[in-house]
Amino acid sequence: MVEKYRMFIGGRWVESSSRETFDVRNPATEEVIANVPLGTKEDAKSAIDAARETFDSGAWSNKTPAERSLILWKLAALVEANARKIATLESMNVGKTIKYSRDSDLPFIIDNLRFFAGAARLLEGKSASEYSGLGTSIIRREPIGVVVGVVPWNYPLYIAVWKMAPALAAGNTVVIKPASLTPLTLLEFAKLAQIAGVPDGVLNVVTGPGEVIGEELATSPNVDMISLTGDTSTGKKIMQMASGNLKKVHLELGGKAPFIVLDDANIDAATEGAVVAAFWNSGQDCTAATRVYVHESIHDEFVKLLVEKAQNIRIGDPLDERTDMGPLVSGKQRERIEVYVRSGIEEGANLVHGGKRPENLKKGYFFEPTIFTGVEQKMRICQEEIFGPVLSVSGFSTVDEAVEKANDVIYGLASSVWGKDITDLVRIANRLKYGTVWINEHGVLTSETPHGGFKQSGFGKDLSLYSFEEYTQVKHIYIDQTGSVRKPWYYTVYGEK
Ligand code: NAD
C-alpha cells in the first residue's frame, strides 16, 4: 500500500504549491511505499513565514519554560506510545534493522525529548553581578528566532530530534527539512507534535529536494539560524548561502573515524567493537569506524578474528529480528560504495572480505560487509568518506605513527583507541584531533554528552547542554545603580575628573 503524505506548514497539512509529489521507496524491496509532496521555493517561504510570525508573536517563546517543558514531555510520551510503529516505518524507509531502530533510535529519541524538556527549565545566564562597580549586569540566554534544521537520511528522525528538541525547548520556532529519501517518520512525528499541543507555526516540516528547498531555507533573510547535518560539501554551500544575512550556522558534517588498536589491547574486545562500529546501520554512520590502525605485532591475529566475526553478520530483510545488516539506503548509494571498492582494489589494497552484492538477494540495495587490509594512507578509501560498510585496516609500528595517520584526514568527528594502559590511552586521546575519543569502545552517545566535529567535520555541538546553548543567544542587560545624572566616567567627555 502506498501511503500519501502532506507537508506540515503553519499547523496545516498541505500539498505542494505545484501539486507535484515524489515517491519514497523501501530500499530492501525497491518498492514505492509512500508518496510525498515535492515542495517548492514558495512552500519553503510559507514555512518560514509561519515560523517567523509565530516567533514574533511570542506564542511559543513567551510561554513559561514549564509550559514548553510540559508539551515536550507529552510529545515524548506520544512517541513512546507509537514507538513500535515509528521504528517499523524507519526500518522500512532507511533499511536499518528493526532491532536497531526499535532498540536504539527510538529509545534515544524519547530520551532526548525528555532531556531537553528538563533542560527547558534550566536555561540560565552565567552570572549577575556588579562588574563595573556602578551597576548590575544580568546575563541571560534567549532563543535565536527562526531555526532551520536540515537532516540527512541515515538517522531521519533521530537527528531531526537532536535539532528540534533543543531548539523548541529554548523557545525558537523551527522549519525542518528531511532528506528526500527518508521523510516519513518526521512527518509522523509532526502529527504527534500537533496532538501534544505544539502551537501552530512552531514546528513546520517541508519535504523536497535540498537544492531547491534547502537553498531557500539557507538564503532567506527571515531565518536566524540554520543547523545542518550532512555532507561536508553541503555544509560549505550552506555556509556561503547563509552569509547573506549572517545567520548563525551549525554544521555536523562528514567523518572518517580512526580506530587505533595498541599492542596490549584485548584483541577479542577490539575486533568485537570494530565489527559493530564499522557495520551498524550498514556503515552509513558519520562516526562509523572506517580506518583501523593496529599494531603490527598483533595485526594478523586481529585481521583473522575480524574477518571471522564479519562473516557471521546476517544480511537480509531489515524487519526480520534475526537480520544484523539491512540494505544501503538507495541504488545510488550502493553504486557509490562500489566505486570506492573498485578504487581500493585498483590502488593496491587487499580485499579480504566482501566487496560485492550478496548473491542470494536479488532485490534491494544490499552490499556485503567489506574489509581491506594493506591500506595506505594516500588511498582514496583511506582519505574519503565512503559512508557504507567498508572497513580498511593498516598496521603501525609506533604510537606516533598511529596518531599521525589517524589525524591525517580532513575530518575530525569521532575516533577510538583500544589498549590496556590507561595512561597511554589518555595521552593518545589528548593527541587525537577529534570531537569524540572513545577508549575501549566506539560509538556510545548519550543525551548528556556533546557530539560534534573538529576540522571539516563541522562546528557546534549536538546533544547535551552544549547543544542547548547553540540554540540560544546571550544578552547582557545593564542596570545603573548610581542614580546620578553625571556618572563618574562621563568626565571623559565633560571636562576633567
Ligand atoms: P547531504 O549533505 O547530501 O544531505 C543532507 C541534507 O542536506 C538533506 O536534507 C539534503 O536534502 C540537504 N541538502 C543537500 N544539498 C543541499 C543544498 N545545496 N542546500 C541545502 N540543503 C541541501 O547528506 P546525506 O547524503 O543525506 O547524509 C550523509 C552525510 O551526512 C555524510 O557525509 C555523513 O557523514 C553526514 N552525517 C553527519 C553526522 C554528524 O553528526 N556529523 C551525522 C549523520 C550524517
- Taking the centre of ligand 1 as the mean of its atom positions, its distance from the CA of residue 262, in whole angstroms, is 33
- Taking the centre of ligand 1 as the mean of its atom positions, its distance from the CA of residue 413, in whole angstroms, is 15
- Taking the centre of ligand 1 as the mean of its atom positions, its distance from the CA of residue 489, in whole angstroms, is 53
- Taking the centre of ligand 1 as the mean of its atom positions, its distance from the CA of residue 233, in whole angstroms, is 9
Contacts of 160-163 spanning 24+ positions with Cβ under 8 A: 160/186, 160/189, 161/109, 161/112, 161/113, 161/189, 162/112, 162/229, 162/462, 162/463, 162/467, 163/227, 163/229, 163/462
- pLDDT digit string, tens, across residues 284-322: 999 999 999 999 999 999 999 999 999 999 999 999 999
**Locus of grid cell 512527518:** 187
Rounded CA-CA distance 234/244 in Å is: 17
- Among 188, 252, 385, 470, the one annotated catalytic: 252
Residues 6+ apart with CB under 8 A from 152: 159, 179, 229, 230, 231
Cell readout for 213 is: 528547498
User: For this structure, is 3 an active site residue?
Assistant: no
Q: 36 forms bridges with which residues in the sheet?
A: 22
**Cβ-based burial of 92 (10 A; exposed 0-12, middle 13-18, buried ≥19):** buried
Contact 154 CB / ligand 1 (< 6 Å): yes
At 127 the pLDDT is 76
- Taking the centre of ligand 1 as the mean of its atom positions, its distance from the CA of residue 90, in whole angstroms, is 17
At 208 the pLDDT is 95
Residue 381 has pLDDT above 80, yes or no: yes
Contact 110 CB / ligand 1 (< 6 Å): no
State percent of the chain over pLDDT 70: 100
Rounded CA-CA distance 479/330 in Å is: 58
Query: What is the pLDDT confidence band of residue 210, given thresholds at 50, 70 and 90?
Result: very high
Query: What is the pLDDT confidence band of residue 123, given thresholds at 50, 70 and 90?
Result: confident
Query: What is the pLDDT confidence band of residue 342, given thresholds at 50, 70 and 90?
Result: very high
- Among 90, 286, 368, 470, the one annotated catalytic: 286
Residue 112 has pLDDT above 80, yes or no: yes
- pLDDT digit string, tens, across residues 452-481: 999 999 999 999 999 999 999 999 999 999
Contact 153 CB / ligand 1 (< 6 Å): yes
Helices (H), 256-346: 267-279, 299-311, 331-346
CA 155 to chain CA mean position, Å: 7
Q: pTM here?
A: 0.97
Rounded CA-CA distance 55/49 in Å is: 10
Residue among 175, 173, 183, 174 nearest 152 (CA): 183
- Taking the centre of ligand 1 as the mean of its atom positions, its distance from the CA of residue 459, in whole angstroms, is 14
At 348 the pLDDT is 98
Domains of the chain, by residue range, sit at 3-253+457-477, 257-439
Indicate the top mutation candidate among 219, 286, 466 to test ligand 1's pocket, ranked by most ligand atoms within 8 A of CB.
Answer: 286
Of 123 and 23, the one with more pLDDT: 23
Residue among 266, 290, 265 nearest 280 (CA): 290
Distances in whole angstroms, Cα of residue 182 to Cα of each of 35, 77, 80, 252? 11, 23, 21, 18
At 14 the pLDDT is 98
- pLDDT digit string, tens, across residues 215-270: 999 999 999 999 999 999 999 999 999 999 999 999 999 999 999 999 999 999 99
**Locus of grid cell 551597576:** 135
Rounded CA-CA distance 172/392 in Å is: 42
Residue 65 has pLDDT above 90, yes or no: yes
Cell readout for 317 is: 530483510
Handedness of CA 453, 283, 304, 343 (dihedral sign): negative
Say which CATH superfamily domain 3-253+457-477 falls into.
Aldehyde Dehydrogenase; Chain A, domain 1 (3.40.605.10)
Termini Cα distance of the chain: 83
**Are 3-253+457-477 and 257-439 in the same CATH fold?**
no
At 124 the pLDDT is 82
- Closest approach atom of ligand 1 to CA 254: 34
User: For this structure, is 272 an active site residue?
Assistant: no
Contact 99 CB / ligand 1 (< 6 Å): no
Distances in whole angstroms, Cα of residue 89 to Cα of each of 92, 193, 209, 356? 5, 17, 21, 27
At 126 the pLDDT is 76
Contact 290 CB / ligand 1 (< 6 Å): no
Burial 427-450 (b: 16+ CB within 10 A, else e): ebbebbbbbbbbebebbebebeeb
Cell readout for 7 is: 507537508
At 128 the pLDDT is 84
Rounded CA-CA distance 312/237 in Å is: 41
Across the range 414-441, mean pLDDT stands at 98
- Closest approach atom of ligand 1 to CA 241: 19
Residue 125 has pLDDT above 90, yes or no: no
Contact 286 CB / ligand 1 (< 6 Å): yes
- pLDDT digit string, tens, across residues 135-178: 999 999 999 999 999 999 999 999 999 999 999 999 999 999 99
Query: What is the pLDDT confidence band of residue 334, given thresholds at 50, 70 and 90?
Result: very high
CATH code that applies to domain 257-439: 3.40.309.10
Contact 235 CB / ligand 1 (< 6 Å): no
